């Protein structure tokens, strides 16, 4: 696609490039790495047409563009994101994006706007805000989005990580890799070698290839798994500074031996893994993630960082993960039996489909649910409670941690099972519901056992029945709903790991193996049971089946109960 042949360029008497040559094939990411003054930015500027060249030639798609001005190169399909972003600060985010489409002859840009907002949801949320009010990371996202509005085939990125926190750098580079998978070719200037190189560096000095040794603790920058990496280099003659070009071929190329997905998985992971938790810290799901993934990280030799993204019933976190690169470096813990399945009906305008856009890794365990009542209530058994509720229709109250939360859905399902008429009381946080239950201001709550186990053990609450087919290890004297004569009722919480759809099978297999090893660890077992979770590894097929069954179940409950959630 791009060929740079013996290019020379400078600023007055200062020669920045001397005889630099570089080739970039379609569908590659090529990263130029080097010290300050090596000429990386000058090379990018020369390709975009902003910097004139004094020798050599530049070919784009078999056409010489030496005499093509910069604005015309944009129309040809070359877009640059300059160092420092260079946005129009007073204009809104959306106006900045629209300016990126100035070179296009077609009138419709709505589809491209939607695509940019899908890549960078933070921009969508602030589309009316002035660009100058954005954070540095958001401004970098906007600069990339503005370049994409020109519908380029070659994207030139100059120092996208400059001045940004490591997490933001990860997110932006992940998006760049996603663009490559969509067919875009990327030439990237990056001074942070650890963020750009994966295995080896090479340099071309007068045409002779010389190995430069292993890169120290490199980051895996490739989202394509099936191909090995090829590396080229450019060197300025008469100067020890080198520009190293790190090339990643497309997933469809034939790279020969050593480039299979299985071989690549042997190296996985080469950097930190992000595990997204859809709920706030200190909850049971957060504890499960931390307990299991700490051991997983030890087995993999890489840290697994917990990233709590609460809100909108967990859909914010799931949306983030489903739009992340399927490379094994972003995973999520979710409840396929509860919130993940219910969200399909609760939020009909979701930007994802959990069945289509998530790939199960493994089931980690379950925690049972218990129907507990206030001591102020006279009922001592579930039969007595149901009889009391039927004798006082519309009077008994049940709590939950919010409208559409598992506690709410559990109560609605129990109403249908027993035919009682009780009233839902949503709380902002579950702890407030527990306080009011103890005080007798609400009558009952169907919650995870771990949530109310201390209060039950202290005699502050009375457990009447547990969900599921078997009694709970923590409450062995409490019968199941089925034992109490009301049929099957299982609203246990399941904890499962998922990856974005498209994650290569060898990586999934590696994760499944280390998760299994973690769940076999006695220390992990003990800590999970203290948290009220019964450990149990389950295969991906079991998770997928559970998710499909519960989507249908909760859809029926939500429809019949008339539950509505305000759209995000």
State in Å, rounded, how far the first CA of the chain is from the last one. 42
> Which CATH number is 2-77+154-261 given?
3.40.50.300
* DSSP secondary structure code for residue 270 in this structure: S
pLDDT at 546 over 70: yes
Kindly report the pTM of this predicted structure: 0.56
Say yes or no to pLDDT of 233 above 60. no
The reply to whether 273-366+493-561 and 369-466 are identical in fold is yes
In CATH, 273-366+493-561 is 3.90.1200.10: no
pLDDT at 282: 81
Q: Which residue has the higher pLDDT, 6 or 216?
A: 6
Q: What percent of the chain has pLDDT over 90?
A: 45
* Predicted local distance difference test score (pLDDT) of residue 164: 67
List all residues 6 or more positions away from 313 whose beta carbon is below 8 Å from its beta carbon.
339, 342, 343, 346, 347, 404, 405, 565
Query: Which of the four pLDDT bands, split at 50, 70 and 90, describes residue 27?
Result: confident
Taking residues 90-110, report their average pLDDT: 78
pLDDT digits (tens, 9 = 90+) for 382-402: 999 999 999 999 999 999 988
- Does the pLDDT value for residue 312 go beyond 90? no
Mean pLDDT score, 445-461: 92
pLDDT band at 444 (very low <50, low <70, confident <90, very high): very high
Query: Residue 133: pLDDT band by 50, 70, 90 thresholds?
Result: confident
Give Cα separations from 15 to 34, 49, 94, 112, 532 (angstroms): 17, 17, 39, 39, 68
pLDDT tens column, 244-272 = 454 433 333 223 333 444 544 567 998 99
Looking at residue 42, what is its pLDDT? 87
Higher pLDDT, 17 or 217: 17
Q: 323 vs 232, which has greater pLDDT?
A: 323
Structural domain spans, the chain: 2-77+154-261, 89-151, 273-366+493-561, 369-466
- pLDDT class of 239 with cuts at 50, 70, 90: very low
| DSSP-assigned states of every residue in 368-402 | -EEEEEETTS---SHHHHHHHHHHSTTT-EEEESS
Position with higher pLDDT, 536 vs 173: 536
Please check the confidence at residue 297 and state whether its pLDDT lies above 70.
yes
**Mean pLDDT of the 210-234 span:** 30
- Mean pLDDT along residues 341-353: 90
The encoded tokens of residue 204 equal: 């071309």
- Closest-CA residue to 73 (of 63, 84, 82, 86): 63
151-165 confidence digits (pLDDT tens): 889 999 888 877 666
What is the pLDDT at residue 104? 63
Q: Which CATH architecture group holds 369-466?
A: 3-Layer(aba) Sandwich (3.40)
CA pair distance 54, 66, nearest whole angstrom = 10
- Please check whether residue 260 is in contact with residue 542, taking contact to mean a CB–CB distance below 8 angstroms: no
- Cα–Cα distance for residue pair 474/460, rounded to 1 Å: 16
Residue 117 has pLDDT above 60, yes or no: yes
**What are the strands of the beta sheet with 369-374, ordered from one edge?**
423-426, 397-400, 444-448, 369-374, 461-466
The answer to whether residue 276 scores a pLDDT higher than 90 is: yes
Residue 15's CB is within 10 A of a number of other CB atoms, namely 17
What pLDDT does residue 37 have? Answer: 65
For position 198, what pLDDT does the model report?
39
Confidence of residue 123 (pLDDT cuts 50, 70, 90): confident
**Residue environment code for 392-402, b if the CB has 16+ CB neighbours within 10 A, otherwise e:** eeeebbbbbbb
Map residue 201 onto helix, strand or coil. strand
Q: At which residue do the structure tokens 């056992």 appear?
A: 449
Phi, psi (degrees; rounded to nearest 5) at 419: 75, 25
Query: pLDDT at position 548, please?
Result: 94
Instruction: Give the residue-averaged pLDDT of 477-495.
Output: 95
**Of 329 and 208, the one with more pLDDT:** 329
């Amino acid at each position: 696609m791009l060929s740079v042949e013996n290019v020379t360029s400078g600023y007055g008497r200062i020669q920045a490039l001397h005889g630099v040559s570089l080739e970039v094939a379609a569908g590659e990411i090529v990263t130029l790495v080097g010290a300050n003054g090596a000429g990386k930015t000058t090379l990018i500027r020369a390709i975009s047409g902003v910097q004139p060249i004094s020798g050599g030639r530049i070919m784009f798609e078999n056409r010489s563009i030496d005499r093509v001005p910069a604005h015309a190169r944009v129309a040809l399909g070359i877009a640059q994101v300059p160092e420092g972003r260079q946005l129009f600060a007073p204009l809104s985010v959306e106006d900045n994006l629209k300016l990126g489409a100035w070179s296009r002859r077609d009138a419709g840009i709505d589809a491209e706007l939607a695509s940019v907002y899908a890549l960078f949801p933070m921009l969508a949320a602030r589309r009316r805000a002035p660009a100058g009010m954005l954070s540095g990371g958001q401004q970098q996202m906007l600069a990339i989005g503005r370049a994409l509005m020109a519908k380029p085939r070659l994207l030139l990125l100059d120092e996208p990580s400059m001045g940004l926190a490591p997490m933001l750098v990860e997110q932006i580079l992940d998006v760049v890799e996603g663009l490559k998978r969509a067919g875009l070719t990327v030439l990237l200037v990056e001074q942070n070698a650890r963020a750009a190189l994966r295995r080896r560096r090479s340099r071309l000095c007068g045409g002779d290839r010389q190995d430069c040794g292993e890169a120290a603790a490199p980051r895996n920058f490739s989202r394509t798994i099936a191909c090995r990496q090829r590396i080229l280099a450019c060197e300025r003659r008469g100067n020890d500074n080198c520009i190293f070009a790190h090339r990643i071929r497309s997933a469809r190329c034939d790279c020969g031996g050593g480039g299979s997905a299985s071989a690549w998985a042997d190296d996985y992971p080469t950097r930190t893994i992000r595990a997204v938790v859809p709920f706030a810290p200190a909850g049971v799901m957060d504890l499960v993630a931390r307990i299991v993934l700490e051991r997983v990280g030890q087995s993999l030799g890489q840290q697994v960082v917990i990233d709590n993204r609460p809100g909108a019933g967990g859909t914010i976190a799931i949306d983030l993960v489903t739009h992340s690169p399927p490379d094994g470096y972003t995973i999520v813990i979710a409840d396929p039996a509860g919130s993940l399945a219910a969200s399909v009906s609760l939020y009909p305008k979701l930007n994802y489909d959990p069945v289509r856009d998530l790939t199960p890794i493994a089931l980690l365990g379950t925690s049972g649910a218990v129907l507990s009542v206030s001591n102020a209530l006279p009922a001592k058994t579930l039969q007595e409670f149901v009889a009391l509720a039927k004798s006082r229709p519309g009077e008994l109250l049940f709590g939950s941690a919010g409208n559409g939360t598992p506690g709410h859905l559990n109560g609605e399902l129990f109403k249908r099972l027993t035919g009682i008429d009780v009233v839902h009381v949503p709380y902002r946080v579950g702890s407030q519901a527990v306080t009011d239950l103890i005080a007798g201001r609400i009558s009952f709550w169907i919650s995870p056992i771990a949530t109310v186990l201390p209060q039950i053990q202290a005699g502050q609450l009375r457990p009447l029945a547990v969900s599921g087919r078997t009694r709970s290890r923590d409450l062995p004297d409490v019968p199941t709903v089925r034992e109490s004569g009301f049929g099957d009722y299982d609203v246990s919480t399941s904890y499962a790991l998922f990856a974005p759809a498209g994650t290569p099978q060898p990586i999934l297999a590696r994760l499944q193996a280390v998760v299994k090893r973690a769940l076999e660890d006695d220390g992990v077992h003990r800590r999970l049971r203290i948290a009220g979770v019964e450990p149990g590894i389950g295969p991906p097929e079991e998770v997928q089946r559970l998710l499909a069954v519960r989507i249908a179940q909760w859809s029926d409950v939500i429809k019949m109960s008339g539950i509505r959630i305000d759209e995000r």
